[in-house]
Amino acid sequence: MEKKIINDYISSNKERFLNELLDLLKIPSISADNKYSADVLKTAEAVKTRLIEAGADKVEVCPTKGFPVVYGEKMIDPKLPTVVVYGHYDVQPADPLNLWDSPPFEPVLKKTAVHPDGAIFARGACDDKGQMYMHVKAFETMMKTNSLPCNVKFMIEGEEEVGSPSLGPWIIENKEKLKGDVILISDTSIIANDTPSIDAGLRGLAYMEVEVTGPNRDLHSGVYGGAVANPINVLCKMIASCHDENNHITIPAFYDKVVELSADERTEMAKAPFNLDDFKKDLNVDDIRGEKGYSTIERTGIRPTLDVNGIWGGYTGEGAKTVLPSKAFAKISMRLVPDQNSHEISELFQKYFESVAPKSVKVKVTAHHGGEPVVVPITSAGYIAASKAMEETYGKKPVPTRGGGSIPIVALFKKELGLDSILFGFGLDSDALHSPNEHYGLFNYYKGIETIPLFYKYYTESTK
Ligand code: BES
Ligand code: MN
Ligand code: MN
């Protein structure tokens, strides 16, 4: 009965729920680019307004050293459990702009093969405005239909895409305010719209920048070429040396703390549906590549990686310029798995990189933001409630998966607040997160709004 009331409320407000999200998507809240600071702040204010309208109390835009955290709550009874919802209102930069079929901050609806009901195309549609806003609308729905079964607190940040530098200190200062029982996050993916799944872990991240310096100035590549180390050639060789012929990472001690899964656990993981041909077709690649001895799902879920994210130096302008560059640069990220530690891995990387540099160059290694890997016990009350909720709305029990991406703050929620995070994502990996033409399926958006209240219900019931 209650379920019908909830679903009727969602159906009769469908269009408004969508239009409100579209409005939010029009604000370019790019946290990485200073030019957009005012827009990031504007988005925080918009989220605040929406939380108030949805029925939250004590809604505030909490200042931090960086972009603010939007907080709001509904405490109905201190004896009932408290769900703490986390999400982020900032988005990735939109470039390369020329590869978008429509402007990134002018959302449009289009049907795709994967989303026959239509999808919203805009930066942040899936990551994370669309997924975050499902929680605001699910909360409104529960408020308006008198079906909120427990307390709720919202913590929506504006710096996730730049590594959440201010949120860590903010949660440490606000432990009392954030007292709760479980963290609920929709910022991950499911396997497919007919195959629900819940991430039972996320990888961590160590992000490095390297600078290789050769001669004190750019040189004529004819006059000097052949006699002086070219920093770009050297850097490429150093990077290539980070993997062996089996695509194992060669940095000494890199794997020392990696938890190997048991044969049983690997068999369990292999049950998740995965089609290699579809995978290749989606990416338009003829073959895949990865660490020997592991499946694709394992390579993105339970194994660490080392990847160059960007590399530059020398002449990259139009035409040809014969130059032997003075400097070469690269940004290199390593995805980490339990029990690797981002600080230790950054140090190992630095030592290794310095050790493989020939005397003919100088090398400088610096660490950017990082984050620790996490596992979420699938036996926890939160996971079970999430699983039941999805089973009810998808008609299928969700598969436990390991997410390849990172949400660095999740490990801190555990460490500082003692809380497990339930990774209740509804997006698809094919939704082009961080890429041109990011989108979010309407099916996914509404399915999330419908499923979230069931999480609250089952979670609350489980604590009685
Ligand atoms: N929502 C993603 C993380 C994600 C996406 C996890 C899909 C699992 C599946 C998040 O916004 C993100 O992009 N995180 C960054 C971390 C960072 C910028 C420190 C990442 O994973 O690169
Ligand atoms: Mn995200
Ligand atoms: Mn992201």
Residue 450 within a domain: yes
Residue 288 within a domain: no
Q: Are residues 217 and 360 in the same domain?
A: yes
User: How far is Cα 22 from Cα 372, in angstroms, rounded to an integer?
Assistant: 33
Nearest CA to ligand 1 atom 1: 187
Report how far ligand 2's centroid is from the alpha carbon of 460 (Å).
26
| Residue where a domain terminates, one of 325, 340, 371 | 371
CATH number for the domain spanning 416: value is 3.40.630.10
User: How far is Cα 111 from Cα 96, in angstroms, rounded to an integer?
Assistant: 23
Q: What is the pLDDT of residue 219?
A: 98
Q: Are residues 391 and 449 in the same domain?
A: yes
372 Cβ closer than 6 Å to some ligand 1 atom = no
Distance of CA 219 to the CA centre of its chain: 42
Q: Are residues 350 and 402 in the same domain?
A: no
DSSP state of 145: T
Domain count, the chain: 2
Q: Are residues 424 and 336 in the same domain?
A: no
Report how far ligand 2's centroid is from the alpha carbon of 440 (Å).
13
Residue 177 within a domain: yes
Residue 285 within a domain: no
User: Ligand 1: which atom is nearest the Cα of residue 429?
Assistant: 7
Give DSSP secondary structure letters for 390-457: HHHHHSSPPEEEEESS--THHHHIIIII---EEE---EEGGG-TTSTT-EEEHHHHHHHHHHHHHHHH
Nearest CA to ligand 1 atom 18: 161
Of 131, 132, 185, 407, the one to substitute when testing ligand 1's pocket (max ligand atoms within 8 A of C-beta) is 407
Q: What is the pLDDT of residue 369?
A: 84
Nearest ligand, CA of residue 202? 1
336 Cβ closer than 6 Å to some ligand 1 atom = no
Report how far ligand 1's centroid is from the alpha carbon of 6 (Å).
31
190 Cβ closer than 6 Å to some ligand 1 atom = no
Report how far ligand 3's centroid is from the alpha carbon of 134 (Å).
17
Report if pTM > 0.75. Answer: yes
User: Ligand 1: which atom is nearest the Cα of residue 187?
Assistant: 1
Q: Are residues 318 and 400 in the same domain?
A: no
Q: Are residues 132 and 214 in the same domain?
A: no
Q: Are residues 126 and 232 in the same domain?
A: no
Nearest ligand, CA of residue 32? 1
Q: Are residues 52 and 196 in the same domain?
A: yes
Is the C-alpha dihedral spanning 409, 411, 416, 419 positive or negative?
positive
Average pLDDT per consecutive 10 residues, the chain (464 residues; last block may be shorter): 91 98 98 97 98 98 98 98 98 96 98 97 98 98 98 98 96 98 98 96 97 98 97 98 98 97 90 93 95 96 97 96 98 97 98 98 95 94 98 96 95 96 97 97 98 98 92
Q: Are residues 356 and 390 in the same domain?
A: no
- H or E element, residue 205: strand 204-213
Which domain does 458 fall in, by range? 2-202+373-462
Residue 297 within a domain: no
Tell me if 212 sits within 8 A of 327, measured CB to CB.
Answer: yes
Residue 151 within a domain: yes
187 Cβ closer than 6 Å to some ligand 1 atom = yes
Nearest to 73 by CA among 89, 60, 88, 87: 60
User: How far is Cα 73 from Cα 152, in angstroms, rounded to an integer?
Assistant: 6
451 Cβ closer than 6 Å to some ligand 1 atom = no
Nearest CA to ligand 1 atom 13: 161
Residue 347 within a domain: yes
Nearest ligand, CA of residue 87? 2
User: How far is Cα 281 from Cα 287, in angstroms, rounded to an integer?
Assistant: 10
Nearest CA to ligand 1 atom 6: 405
163 Cβ closer than 6 Å to some ligand 1 atom = yes
Report how far ligand 3's centroid is from the alpha carbon of 282 (Å).
20
CATH number for the domain spanning 365: value is 3.30.70.360
| Residue where a domain terminates, one of 356, 371, 386 | 371
Nearest CA to ligand 1 atom 20: 406
Report how far ligand 3's centroid is from the alpha carbon of 27 (Å).
16
Tell me if 459 sits within 8 A of 150, measured CB to CB.
Answer: yes
407 Cβ closer than 6 Å to some ligand 1 atom = yes
Report how far ligand 2's centroid is from the alpha carbon of 396 (Å).
25
Q: Are residues 80 and 225 in the same domain?
A: no
Residue 295 within a domain: no
Q: Are residues 378 and 450 in the same domain?
A: yes
User: Ligand 1: which atom is nearest the Cα of residue 408?
Assistant: 19
Report how far ligand 1's centroid is from the alpha carbon of 219 (Å).
40
Q: Are residues 330 and 450 in the same domain?
A: no
Report how far ligand 3's centroid is from the alpha carbon of 405 (Å).
8
333 Cβ closer than 6 Å to some ligand 1 atom = no
Q: What is the pLDDT of residue 127?
A: 98
User: Ligand 1: which atom is nearest the Cα of residue 403?
Assistant: 8
| Residue where a domain terminates, one of 343, 371, 399 | 371
